[in-house]
Amino acid sequence: MLPISDYHMHTPLCGHASGEPAEYADAALKSGLQEIGFSDHAPLFSHKDPGIAMDLSQLPGYHRTIEDIREKFSARLTVRIGIEADYMPGYEKETRAMLAAYPYDYVIGSVHFIAQWGFDDPIQLMEWDKKDVNTIYREHFKLIRQSALSGLFDILGHVDLVKKFDFHPTEDMSEEIEENARTFKKAGVVVEINSSGLHKPAGEIYPSQAHLKAYRKQGVLITFGSDAHKPQQVGRDFDKARDWALAAGYDNYVMFAKRKIVKTVKL
């Protein structure tokens, strides 16, 4: 069966998504989903960028809007309130306080920055030429492990986002991948299968089969997310995402409420 829940979608508050939340919910119903979760980009503490994330002052409005959608669609669709928060070393305290201030169903932790460098930002693409690709991969994975161990997050988003622009390591990363898997299991975090990678230069779902197989071996659980930045992207490529999970040995995924796993669903 296709996944019935999509846990990764944005709202215009982040400055680079379009469409009203109600349109995302409508699109979800049309594509046969039974549950969605909004997970817009949480305010950044390192710097302000209205094109990347909402401002702290917009957070109450975000919650009001999603609560409203939850109410309106309650008879037809389960709507969860999540958020996608950046992991940045040094800002754990602020992030923890922000996340504790609202009743989330789940929090997705993502790494979009190595130090201050937005490595997945097309505007900062030329930085890739100045650095060693293997070092970038190792730094990224180290941050991902730190994010898992921080205790801030329930789900880790697009854990091999570093492949987005189709730059790949020239050295073997299997040790890193194994260490990631062990760390995720130890930390009790769930990993997201994110279908948006298919529409990026990498042309592949996040994370790769090598990652997923290692997680499966360790017993790390999964969720599904389209990372929709437009209503028509809700649930996109979930047939491929399901096949991707099955190919790595997964036969189920989990659903959240109030920051706890409440259901396991068969694929």
Binding site for Zn ion (CB under 5 A): 110
Nearer to Zn ion, 91 or 267 (CB): 91
* Smallest separation, CB 92 to Zn ion (Å): 19
Nearer to Zn ion, 110 or 147 (CB): 110
Q: How far is the CB of 260 from Zn ion (least distance, A)?
A: 23
Distance in Å, CB of 218 to Zn ion, minimum: 23
229 or 242: CB nearest Zn ion: 229
For residue 11, the one-letter residue type is: T
Nearest-approach distance from CB 58 to Zn ion, in angstroms:
15
- Toward Zn ion, which CB reaches closer, 5 or 110? 110
Sign of CA dihedral 166, 168, 173, 176: negative
Candidates 170, 173, 150, 148; CA nearest to 159 is 148
String of b and e for 214-241 (b: at least 16 CB within 10 Å)? bbbeeebbbbbbbbbbebebbbbbbeeb
State the residue number with the nearest CB to Zn ion. 110
Beta carbon nearer to Zn ion, 110 or 226 = 110
Cβ 8 to Zn ion, closest distance in Å?
Answer: 8
